[in-house]
Amino acid sequence: MADQEEPEDGQAGTGPIVLVSHRGPVQFGREDGERTVERGGGGLVTALSGLAGQLSEALWVCAALTDEDTAVADEHDGGAFDVDDDGLALRMVRVDPEAHEQFYGVIANPLLWFVQHELWSRSRNPDITRVEHDAFEQGYAAVNRDFANVVAEEVAARGGDATVLVHDYHFYLLPEMLRAACPEVFIHHFVHVPWPQADSWRILPPSMRDAVFTGLLGNDVIGFHTQRFARNFLLGCEELLGMPVDLEEGTVSVDGRTVRARAYPISIDTEEFEARASSPEVEEHREALSSIRREHLILRVDRTDPSKNIVRGFKAFGILLHDHPELCERVNFLALLQPSRQDVEEYADYTERIRRVVADVNLEHGSSDWQPIDLRLEENLDQAVAAYTLFDVLMVNAIFDGMNLVAKEAILVNQNDGVLALSENTGAYEQLGEASVTLFPYDLQQQADALYEALTMPTEERRRRREAAAALVREYDVGRWLGNQFDDIRRWRAERST
Amino acid sequence: MADQEEPEDGQAGTGPIVLVSHRGPVQFGREDGERTVERGGGGLVTALSGLAGQLSEALWVCAALTDEDTAVADEHDGGAFDVDDDGLALRMVRVDPEAHEQFYGVIANPLLWFVQHELWSRSRNPDITRVEHDAFEQGYAAVNRDFANVVAEEVAARGGDATVLVHDYHFYLLPEMLRAACPEVFIHHFVHVPWPQADSWRILPPSMRDAVFTGLLGNDVIGFHTQRFARNFLLGCEELLGMPVDLEEGTVSVDGRTVRARAYPISIDTEEFEARASSPEVEEHREALSSIRREHLILRVDRTDPSKNIVRGFKAFGILLHDHPELCERVNFLALLQPSRQDVEEYADYTERIRRVVADVNLEHGSSDWQPIDLRLEENLDQAVAAYTLFDVLMVNAIFDGMNLVAKEAILVNQNDGVLALSENTGAYEQLGEASVTLFPYDLQQQADALYEALTMPTEERRRRREAAAALVREYDVGRWLGNQFDDIRRWRAERST
């Protein structure tokens, strides 16, 4: 194939690129009668936007999520249109609102998100009823079908031999549908959330879990953040579907095709992030935060998602103050928490539990001029970056987390020989665990002890760890994440065509 | 070795036998100033009592659980004494009451039981604190140490080359301790509860979970009810401890020793059980139950343990009545539930949730002369056996269950071509799944549909399945369970000594 001759070039060897994700790189709105364009939210879009810049003539397929998105899609008769000067084209798929609500609000976000982050409480929930079965068929599968049809059309328009990049847990069924329509296409799927072990997938009945697995097995490559998630996927294929799996090779054999499960740890754009850290806006927040700083600063920056384990983190901090009263008045725990999905009862309850435990710890250990926990429920990235530069200990004690980019961002720009206190169940732990103090997320005493160890670690040891972690973040940045995936895509496409 | 010459005989090839379990075969009490002797409770003791009958000159080591047990132990200076005419000796270990409470009431029953039955709700509990750490060290490990010392003493008294049979989740640390004291001993451990996947063990910090795994790796053989649990154990050794594992051989290599993980599905004494089913007491209950019977009888018999998934079972039954109103007035759901651990808040709450959902279903679907669910919260084995003979469908929808002997007992003595509706997460499912209607425990709609399928199945198909299941139960009875374990013990002891 001609396009494999110059594999060092961006698109060479991949054929035409079609990228699929639920949210696109831009979102249209309307303000004062004028159309507005905003960069779409979410870490996924941030990471993929780097990709778009690298690839000319790529097409990005996403959902039309706002009324104005739909208006823009209508203006192009539902087809593709150029979105910037780099040659990136966008196609916004118009989805029936009811089907979208079932897809997003019943299946993807509660059901799959909770399975993949181990958030179900099995003796109480979920109760899978006809509502969920209907939503899976008429919402999740239907939206996957709509997108598969659009992508198949675009692949055919590009001669069939394209590379399709599918993103995340919204589109587990799409690859098998697309494979049936376009047998020659090369499909690479990246899963941005944890992949749990088979018994957690057994929370779903076979009509759903088997569909998820066989849907994904339509891919040529399935990328995960860690070896552990890739292994869980392969073992799941064996345990749930009885498929032949090679754990050492990282492959499953599907009807004579080889499907690969691989780890590609996502990262950040380190240059861009370091530039942001030295911006005037961040400097302003740094000054404000420096004034509240005492001897030690513990920091956490999270969405208020139960998977982040925020309540246990504060309980552990309370134990630290109980066990080491000499720290009182000398340490602050700054918690910058972005409220998340507050329209969902489970999330609103979780925020209330956070407020409650903060009140309890501050009441028990605080004094008239010192409140141990400084809780800020707001979204302010500049303030967060300012705090990244200042912390002594960053607490990341997630129950499960696909990667946790906060850990990478924060250790990169920290100027205080800060120590990462990192849950063993984050994707980041596979890379940064050795440079961190490990947290075991259900063990309050262990977390309190680990915070104490981090706070009292000799300066040279703190510096050594911070430098080691920051060097890893710089070496394996988002460009490496993309580059490794594209190197593999080119290699496996070439192998396939020989 | 001389004792290997006649492997067909009971004890030949095993050397002297020392059996260890928390509860023993008898329990002493005091009534009206007289000592009483009762057979100990629990399915484990029932199964092992068959073993004791087979083996002469065996020693059974158990805990002194009652005041009178302690008095009896004191009378024998803590040493062994004969308990019956078959030559079975008993040694009741006196345990410090506070250590025993930590061992049993903090670690074994809530913490390990909940991990092994997937009952924790990770975003809320457990909170592992100093209480649990202390209980693990000063309770669980200390009681394991006490028992290991006693067993080591008894093994030494028998010349060192004994076979020690350890039972269940109370004694995960004992084998490693015993191995250190008696390197030549052959240790076989049977785990009567499910063995979950590694990520569930990660609920415990390494100081506990690693201790559990390395403790068990002191054994020569670890028996589980199913291949699935044995595989989970082996994968756990690899994932949590980085041990070299051979999944096909079912082995782990530990310091040059080979440790085997094997499935031995426990069963019942079929002859004894069939005799009981035709006793006059059972016949009396049969008559009483027959009078309440309408066209269809759905039955469940369980302890009120959240792992049994009783609330979802009733919700599914409500959906069945909603989807098939023609069944109203024609079907009864008889639920014989033995109250369990009602002094523990979580269990008392669960019983309340059961009462609540029964009231809701009966209110919504019942009429003045028909209550859909007949809930009996009591312990009455004769009544349960009578119900076994009568049911059309037995519902076993457990979240996780080591084996579930109710399924085996009930299908053996059923006289009505009853159908098993069996959760995929029970140990029994590996043997009886094909003869059953499968239940997926979190899917209410699927369970309702499966109940309907079972209730409306043609008689010949119901009979074929019942006969197939009963034949399996007869073929793999408790004698086979014991026999297979002893065959393997003899073979592997012989291999080891060559």
ipTM rounded to 2 decimals: 0.94
B459 shares its domain with B328: yes
Please provide residue B415's backbone torsions phi and psi, each rounded to the nearest 5 degrees: -120, 20
- Identify which of B208, B216, B140 has the alpha carbon closest to the alpha carbon of residue B177: B216
Task: Choose the closest CB to B128 out of A207, A425, A444.
Answer: A444
pLDDT at B327: 97
Q: What is the CATH number of the domain that holds B348?
A: 3.40.50.2000
Is A418 in contact with A391 (CB distance < 8 Å)? yes
Q: What is the pLDDT of residues A255-274, one digit of tens each?
A: 999 999 999 999 999 999 99
pLDDT along chain B (498 residues), means of 10: 40 86 92 88 64 73 96 95 82 97 97 97 96 98 98 95 96 98 96 98 98 98 98 98 97 96 96 95 96 94 97 98 97 97 91 98 96 97 98 98 97 98 98 98 98 98 98 96 94 86
When CB atoms are compared, the residue of B197, B204, B444 closest to A127 is B444
Note whether A196 contacts B199, CB cutoff 8 Å.
yes
What angle do the packed helices A310-323 and A444-455 form, to 10 degrees? 60
Instruction: Determine the Cα–Cα distance for residues B428 and B436; give it in Å rounded to an integer.
Output: 10
For residue B38, the model assigns a pLDDT of 87
Question: How far is the alpha carbon of A266 from chain B, nearest alpha carbon, in Å?
Answer: 22
Nearest chain B CA: its distance from A205 CA (Å) = 6
Q: Inspect the interface and report whether the beta carbons of B127 and A198 lie closer than 8 Å.
A: no
Buried b / exposed e along B8-34 (16+ C-beta atoms within 10 A): eebbebbbbbbbbbbbbbbbbeeeeee
Q: Are residues A289 and A401 in the same domain?
A: yes
Residues B199, A118: C-beta atoms closer than 8 Å: yes
Question: Chain A: nearest CA to B398, how far in angstroms?
Answer: 10
- B176 burial (CB, 10 Å; 0-12 / 13-18 / 19+) is buried
SS3 of residue B273 by DSSP: helix
Q: Are residues B151 and B249 in the same domain?
A: yes
CB atoms A442 and B319 under 8 Å = no
Distance CA A334, CA A353 (A): 17
Among residues B78, B262, B55, B46, the alpha carbon closest in space to that of B162 is found at B55
Same domain, residue pair A256 and A274: no
Give the pLDDT score at A5. 39
What pLDDT, on the 0 to 100 scale, is given for residue B9?
42
A285, burial (CB in 10 Å: exposed 0-12, middle 13-18, buried 19+): buried
Shared-domain flag, residues B128 and B258 = yes
What is the rounded distance in angstroms from the CA atom of residue A256 to the CA atom of residue A343? Answer: 46
Contact of A266 with A47, CB cutoff 8 Å: yes
Q: Which of B123, B322, B360 to mutate to test the interface with A (most CBs of A within 10 A)?
A: B123
Q: At what angle do helices B206-216 and B227-241 cross, to 10 degrees?
A: 120
Instruction: Let me know whether A387 and A304 are in one domain.
Output: yes
Contact (CB, 8 A) for A188 and A166: yes
A128/B196 touch (CB, cutoff 8 Å), yes or no: no
- pTM as predicted: 0.95
For residue B242, report the phi and psi dihedrals to the nearest 5 degrees.
65, 30
Which chain A residue's Cα is nearest to B125?
A: A442
State the CB neighbour count (10 A cutoff) for residue B39.
Answer: 12
Subunit contact A350:B123, Cβ cutoff 8 A:
yes
Contacts of B228 in chain A (CB under 8 A): 239
Instruction: Name the percent of chain B in helix, strand, coil, to the closest 5.
Output: 50, 20, 30
CA-to-CA separations, A32 to A29, A36, B325, B337, in angstroms, rounded: 10, 10, 56, 65
Q: State whether B128 and A445 contact (CB < 8 Å).
A: yes
- B308 and B196 within one domain: no
Residue of B nearest to A133 (CA): B445
**Neighbour count for residue B273 (Cβ, 10 Å):** 20
Nearest CB among A121, A128, A206 relative to B445 is that of A128
CB contact under 8 A, B203 and A442: yes
Q: Which residues of B touch A207 (CB under 8 A)?
A: 446
**How many angstroms separate the CA of residue B344 from the nearest CA in chain A?**
16
pLDDT given for residue A2 in this prediction: 38
Residue B337: beta bridge partners? Answer: B302, B377
Binary contact (B123, A119; C-beta < 8 A): yes
Q: Do A185 and A165 form a contact (C-beta atoms < 8 A)?
A: no
Burial code (b: 16+ CB inside 10 Å, e: under 16) for B205-232 equals bbebbebbbbbbbbbbbbbbbbebbbbb
Does A445 contact B206 at a Cβ distance shorter than 8 Å? no
Q: Under an 8 A CB cutoff, do A440 and B130 touch?
A: no
Same domain, B284 and B422: yes
Contact A123 B119 (CB under 8 A): yes
| Integer Cα distance of B25 and B74 in angstroms | 18
Q: Cβ separation of B442 and A203 shorter than 8 Å?
A: yes
| Among B115, B349, B443, the residue to mutate for chain A (most A Cβ within 10 A) | B443
Q: Which of A122, A132, A195, A210 should we substitute to test contact with B (largest number of B Cβ atoms within 10 Å)?
A: A122
CA dihedral A210→A212→A218→A219, nearest 10 degrees, is -140
Task: Give the domain extent around A321.
Answer: 270-475
- Do A278 and A286 meet the contact criterion of CB atoms below 8 Å apart? no
Coil, strand or helix: which one is A417?
coil
DSSP E strands: which ranges in B117-175? Answer: 163-167
So what's the pLDDT on residue A10? Answer: 46
Same domain, A384 and A491: no
C-alpha A35: how far from chain center: 29
State the pLDDT at residue B42. Answer: 59
Closest CA to A127 of B396, B121, B307, B442: B442
Q: Shortest Cα distance from A142 to chain B (angstroms)? A: 21
A-chain CB neighbours of B121 within 8 Å are 120-124
Q: Which chain A residues are Cβ-neighbours of B340 within 8 angstroms?
A: none
pLDDT the model gives residue B339: 95
pLDDT of residue B498: 64
Looking at the structure of chain B, the number of domains it has is 2
Co-location of A280 and A226 in the same domain: no
Give me the residues of chain A with pLDDT under 50, please.
1-10
Residues B181 and B319 in one domain: no
Kindly determine whether residue B122 and residue A121, on different chains, have CB atoms separated by under 8 Å: yes
Q: B interface mutation test: which of A112, A114, A119, A123 has the most B CBs within 10 A?
A: A123
Site from B119, B122, B349 to mutate, A interface, most A CB atoms within 10 angstroms: B122
CB-closest option in B119, B128, B232 to A122: B119
Distance CA A402, CA A404 (A): 6
Q: Quick one: tokens of B398?
A: 């457990």
Residue of chain A whose alpha carbon sits nearest to that of B439: A205
Residues A465 and A488 occupy one common structural domain:
no
Q: Give the span between the Cα atoms of B405 and B412, in whole angstroms.
A: 11
Among all residues of chain A, which has the CA nearest to that of B239?
A228
| B340: exposed, middle or buried (Cβ count in 10 Å: 0-12, 13-18, 19+) | middle
Instruction: List B176's β-bridge partners, or say none.
Output: none
Contact: B399, A197; criterion CB under 8 Å: no
